[in-house]
Structure 1
Amino acid sequence: MSRPIAVYVHIPFCTVKCGYCDFNAYAGMDALKPAYLEALLAEIRANAPLLEGRTIASVGFGGGTPGELPAAHIATVLDALRNTAPFAPGAEVTLEVNPGTSSPAHLNALRAAGVTRLSIGAQSFDPAELAFLDRIHSPEATAATVAAARAAGFTSVSLDLMYGLPGQPLERWLATVRAALALQPDHLSLYALTIEPGTPLARRVERGEVTPADPDLTADMYEAASDLLETAGFEQYELSNWARPGHQSRHNRAYWTDADYLALGAGAHGYLAGERYANIDHPRAYIDAVACNAPRGPRPALAAVTTPPHPAHVADWLALRLRLLEGFSPREFEARWSLSLEAAAGPVLADAEAAGLLERSPRVRLTRRGRLLHGELAARLLAHLDRTLPRAAPAAR
């Protein structure tokens, strides 16, 4: 019986790289796109042994802006994957697009190519906030993109929104959420703006030109948006994600549930059999590495491989499972790690329960307050497990 696997395809091209972005993304590299497509196809062929006996459950195109690639390129990549391993019935294929840069004809072609789900980078419905974020679209462009996606036949459309912007009042954030809801998306992802070191935005903060948002106000924004979305019929299923029934991101669940996912493209990160790995970042270096190494076999653009120490691996599992509102059962933990949950993490979990951060009957899952402090709890779990677990204990799969 074949085992499911997810596939992540990184497309590093952007029209403009936003000042807050620290992703592996590059503007002004359109001339590389044909060679990049050929490198992706060669990488798929080289990775064929890793897909033997597997069924592709989902494909996620991220970036960068995958919508920057011609739809014919996306179709070619999907065809190459289908020719390498079977797709599961109803496999989810998600692709990220930006408003204003995807025409109705382009969206029609993406749907015909086999993309089943669109994630649209709206970020805000306030023109001044969009300008601050270096976004090149307008609120009207977002509405037009959603309408064009529906006309193209997309039945699962997600919007990304950002909160916790410098100077952003609560009511302006809620106006963005209401504007998004008015477009009747099937899924919403809400992300707090983070000031990433080395970005243009971080340098503006260092120069005193921008003051980061107050953390308490940012938490209020999160909770108020949660209330709005719940009233509108959305179910929160992960810390940053809400969906209408039947529209959870199946691809992203692979990241949160310890599932294998194959990485393709410059800077793509993968996870196979407990081993994390990353491809070379720069598109030109990636293209050259694939051309040189693809005849030798799998992972021709490999930059790094990491097998986490046992305590960190267990802590990662716990932290990722706690991102899901469904949490996990002690039996699931024990089946994965051949460890008693109480013996491994009991003291930390008991303290968190006493503080009102999580509940443990019957499943271990965060409370609403705990969702705001997930990062702190994850750090405490790692510190505890690092003291109490052997670094090289075997992990059962």
Structure 2
Amino acid sequence: MAAARAGGGAGPGPGPGAGQPGPAALYVHWPYCRKRCSYCNFNKYVVPAVDEAAVRACLVREAQTLLRLSRVRSITSVFFGGGTPSLASPGTIAAVLEAVAGAAHLPADAEVTLEANPSSASTPRLTGFRAAGVNRLSIGVQSLDDAELRLLGREHTAAEAREAVEAARRLFPGRTSIDLLFGLPGQSRSAWARGLEAALGLCDDHVSLYQLTLERGTVLAAQVQGGSLPTPAQDLLADMYHTARDTLVAAGFRHYEVSNFARKGALSTHNLSYWRAEQYIGVGPGAHGRFVPWGEGSCSREARVQTLEPDAWMREVQSRGHGTRRRVVLSPLEQLEEVLALGLRTDEGITQERWGRFSPQLSLEAVFGVPGEAQELQQQGWLVLDGSGLRCSREGLALLDLLLPALLCQLQRRWAPRRSAARDGDEAVGVISSGE
């Protein structure tokens, strides 16, 4: 109900933006690729030809529409993801950024990231992206071993990956990130360690490491399920993760998020906005967002998903200005669950101040400082609750997926009595709210 979402009574409040639009990050999805990798189930499309002028016009229009609906005052960062956004022309990137700057304040030093594949990251192309306004690159290297790249179905070779990263570092010094995958079928711990050493000799100041997930419906998953490729052992996956963390930390990287490492302060501003549960607006086919649509007279934070299929999305944008397919008002509890699940992914965890913005009446200590799962995790050395906030220890960060369900259960139990009290209070004073 509307009253519950507004956080009346003793329950948690609606989070940042409750009194004013505030800032937001912006994600822009380019859905096209030249080929589908063997492990990929992202929202991407391989088509004979792309009508880039039409896609550009729709990205511009949807960005303008959603910025108007959100009434955000400032854009903190822009991230072009995909798909393979480095297949878009620099002119498309520039047009979107111009539209954003025309609809909201886009600071001159705002982080603007573009995901790029080595096969579409030549020096002239990257120079064009820099001129368009991009100031940070995230390059999908995935591996520096040609056999592993073939297994993954990647377009590029290890030599091409090295050339792309070196070109990017010349143009975007200190602001070039590389992605690496581990846990490939048949990959050994020693092969992974060698790959890490090679990456350390190549990388800039940010590295993202992702354990390969065998997604249903992908070629690689079918090969593993069919027995033609071995299933990676869980103990081996854990060893690979710890090896990577120890290697990167020893090289001066801060392990600031479960999968992300940075040195010299090169943390991803955009991704931090997700993990800190700040507002973000998703533009493009299948993009996700979390923001308050003040322009529609609402003061409730919504989860939004844009239409997945590009042609259908473009028709919707052309007809009504945006392609939002699904929108759900997030209850106060759902918002707190996101704050918990996302915030614990970082080494800073959930600060007292951030939790208080979402839950002014129910403190971190009131939820997790009482007997229950959280106290047991603290006693085991996996969780820390102190004056700074709630966070995982170094050991706990690697086990977050195992710890989180218990913490969510404790949050739900502690929140329920306060919610009941709030409802009783609403009824006592005759609060009227719209039905769902």
Same fold judged by TM-score > 0.5?
yes
**Residue 367 (structure 2) aligns with:** 344
After superposition, give the CA deviation of every residue in 1:235-280 in whole Å (9 maximum; x if it has no partner): 1111111111221000001100011011100000000033211000
For the structure 1 residues 107 and 392, does the alpha-carbon distance in structure 2 shift closer, same or farther, using more than 3 Å as the test? Answer: farther
User: Matches of 2:374 and 2:245 in 1, distance apart?
Assistant: 25
Matched, 1:304 2:326: yes
**Residue 81 (structure 1) aligns with:** 100
User: Matches of 2:312 and 2:21 in 1, distance apart?
Assistant: 34
For the structure 1 residues 9 and 211, does the alpha-carbon distance in structure 2 shift closer, same or farther, using more than 3 Å as the test? Answer: same
User: Matches of 2:64 and 2:50 in 1, distance apart?
Assistant: 23
**Residue 247 (structure 2) aligns with:** 228
Matched, 1:385 2:411: yes
* Local SS of the residue matching 2:36: coil
Matched, 1:193 2:212: yes
Shift of 1:175: 1.3
> Are 1:51 and 1:85, in contact at CA under 8 Å, matched by a contact in 2?
no
Matches within 5 A, 1:2-13: 3-13=22-32
Matches within 5 A, 1:332-371: 332-338=354-360, 339-346=362-369, 347-363=372-388, 364-371=390-397
For the structure 1 residues 222 and 286, does the alpha-carbon distance in structure 2 shift closer, same or farther, using more than 3 Å as the test? Answer: same
Aligned residues: 389
Matches within 5 A, 1:245-264: 245-264=264-283
For the structure 1 residues 198 and 183, does the alpha-carbon distance in structure 2 shift closer, same or farther, using more than 3 Å as the test? Answer: same
- Find 2:402's aligned residue among 376, 381, 393: 376
Larger-gyration structure (1/2)? 2
For the structure 1 residues 84 and 32, does the alpha-carbon distance in structure 2 shift closer, same or farther, using more than 3 Å as the test? Answer: same
* Local SS of the residue matching 1:88: coil
User: Matches of 2:238 and 2:67 in 1, distance apart?
Assistant: 45
* Local SS of the residue matching 2:42: coil
* Local SS of the residue matching 1:26: coil
Shift of 1:303: 1.0
Matches within 5 A, 1:1-397: 3-50=22-69, 52-273=71-292, 274-294=301-321, 300-338=322-360, 339-346=362-369, 347-363=372-388, 364-390=390-416, 393=419
After superposition, give the CA deviation of every residue in 1:27-56 in whole Å (9 maximum; x if it has no partner): 125323221111111212322423535111
For the structure 1 residues 80 and 233, does the alpha-carbon distance in structure 2 shift closer, same or farther, using more than 3 Å as the test? Answer: same
User: Matches of 1:319 and 1:290 in 2, distance apart?
Assistant: 32
For the structure 1 residues 98 and 392, does the alpha-carbon distance in structure 2 shift closer, same or farther, using more than 3 Å as the test? Answer: farther
User: Matches of 2:115 and 2:351 in 1, distance apart?
Assistant: 33
User: Matches of 2:340 and 2:140 in 1, distance apart?
Assistant: 29
User: Matches of 1:305 and 1:172 in 2, distance apart?
Assistant: 45
> Are 1:5 and 1:260, in contact at CA under 8 Å, matched by a contact in 2?
yes
After superposition, give the CA deviation of every residue in 1:331-367 in whole Å (9 maximum; x if it has no partner): 5423421212233234221111122211223432212
User: Matches of 1:83 and 1:357 in 2, distance apart?
Assistant: 46
> Are 2:367 and 2:414, in contact at CA under 8 Å, matched by a contact in 1?
yes
Indicate the larger mover: 305-314 or 259-268: 305-314
Query: What is the root-mean-square deviation of aligned Cα atoms in Å?
Result: 2.0
For the structure 1 residues 29 and 13, does the alpha-carbon distance in structure 2 shift closer, same or farther, using more than 3 Å as the test? Answer: farther
Shift of 1:154: 4.4
User: Matches of 2:284 and 2:174 in 1, distance apart?
Assistant: 27
> Are 2:275 and 2:345, in contact at CA under 8 Å, matched by a contact in 1?
yes
- If asked which structure has higher relative contact order (CA below 8 Å, sep 6+), I would say 2
> Are 1:315 and 1:378, in contact at CA under 8 Å, matched by a contact in 2?
no
Indicate the larger mover: 71-80 or 48-57: 48-57
User: Matches of 1:43 and 1:78 in 2, distance apart?
Assistant: 12
Shift of 1:199: 2.1
* Local SS of the residue matching 1:90: coil
> Are 2:31 and 2:310, in contact at CA under 8 Å, matched by a contact in 1?
yes
Identity percentage of aligned residues: 39
Q: Please give the TM-score of this superposition, normalised by the length of structure 2.
A: 0.85
* Local SS of the residue matching 2:50: helix
User: Matches of 2:56 and 2:153 in 1, distance apart?
Assistant: 28
Consecutive unaligned residues in structure 1, runs of 5 or more: 295-299
Shift of 1:391: 10
User: Matches of 1:331 and 1:58 in 2, distance apart?
Assistant: 22
> Are 2:68 and 2:103, in contact at CA under 8 Å, matched by a contact in 1?
no
Shift of 1:227: 1.2
Consecutive unaligned residues in structure 2, runs of 5 or more: 1-19, 293-300, 423-436
Q: Please give the TM-score of this superposition, normalised by the length of structure 1.
A: 0.93
Shift of 1:153: 4.3
> Are 2:169 and 2:204, in contact at CA under 8 Å, matched by a contact in 1?
no
User: Matches of 1:154 and 1:109 in 2, distance apart?
Assistant: 16
After superposition, give the CA deviation of every residue in 1:46-92 in whole Å (9 maximum; x if it has no partner): 22423535111100000111101011111111111111111124100
Indicate the larger mover: 348-357 or 285-294: 348-357
* Local SS of the residue matching 1:31: coil
Shift of 1:281: 0.3
* Local SS of the residue matching 2:120: coil
